[in-house]
Amino acid sequence: MIDGNAIERVENYTFLGTKINQHLSWKPHMLDILSKIQRNLGVVRKISRFIDRHSLFQLYHSLIMSHIRNGIVVWFHSQSHAAIRKKNQACANKFLQIIFHLKPRDSVRHLMKENKLLSMNQIYHLEVAKVMQKFSLKTIPTPFFDIFERQIRTSQTRTRSGSTVVRAPSSTKKCAQLIRCIGPEIWNALPNSVRFLPSENNDLSNQLPLSLKQFIPGMKKYAIENVPFH
């Protein structure tokens, strides 16, 4: 009940393209993504011989990657559903096999790197890093900002600059998957050249973060070259 009004209880509810489960499981959402991209894959396979490669790339981004990117920061790192995650990546790979006229068993990894395309794991790292860069710029939504600020205030660790963010302690595997743990871990591992403007004499105490627009190209390049495909 909310203000005297009965609220219908449902098993799953879709909000802004994200399927939220009553048990806070991301399995229904991940299966929904898989269903959508499999359906789109079948359609594109039929029409691929009638359209050029540039148009196929546009379809890849709009019909495949748009679904994968949506909410990836919250659902991707669910270790209990790794098998579904691999199926989603496999479907995305099949789309690229269509674009490049490859055989079903041919690898697409080298072609993805050549065309600056990211795997799901690389996209996840990119999106999490963007969240942390926004925290560094103080443009992140207040609830997230408060999480990381609270970790810094309660930590006994002192750093010489803003080049590190305190990672929250995690007592369970599920806690270790939270953004407050993974975010600092990913961001702290990035080279300063990816995160900050150049400083005089490499002064770590006075580093200014890159704007998000400046940060994304460097982070994307870093992800392609350094983050594992899976």
Q: Is the dihedral of CA 151, 152, 155, 160 positive or negative?
A: positive
Q: What is the pTM of this model?
A: 0.86
Span 124-139, pLDDT tens digits: 999 999 999 999 999 9
Helix H, strand E, coil C: the string for 75-94 is: HCCCHHHHHHHHHHHHHHHH
Return the SS3 of 191. Answer: coil
13: enclosing H helix or E strand = strand 12-15
37, 92 in Cβ contact below 8 A?
yes
List the domain boundaries for the chain: 12-117, 140-213
> CB within 8 A of 33, min separation 6: which ones?
67, 68, 88
Per-residue tens of pLDDT for the chain, all 230 residues: 577 777 777 888 888 888 888 887 888 999 999 999 999 988 888 898 899 999 999 999 999 999 999 989 988 887 778 899 999 999 999 999 999 989 888 999 999 999 999 999 999 999 999 999 999 999 988 888 888 877 776 665 545 455 678 777 776 777 777 888 888 999 999 999 999 988 766 665 667 899 999 999 999 999 999 999 98
Instruction: Give the closest residue to 161 by CA, choosing from 195, 193, 203.
Output: 203
Q: What single-letter DSSP state applies at residue 172? A: S
Span 10-29, pLDDT tens digits: 888 888 888 888 887 888 99
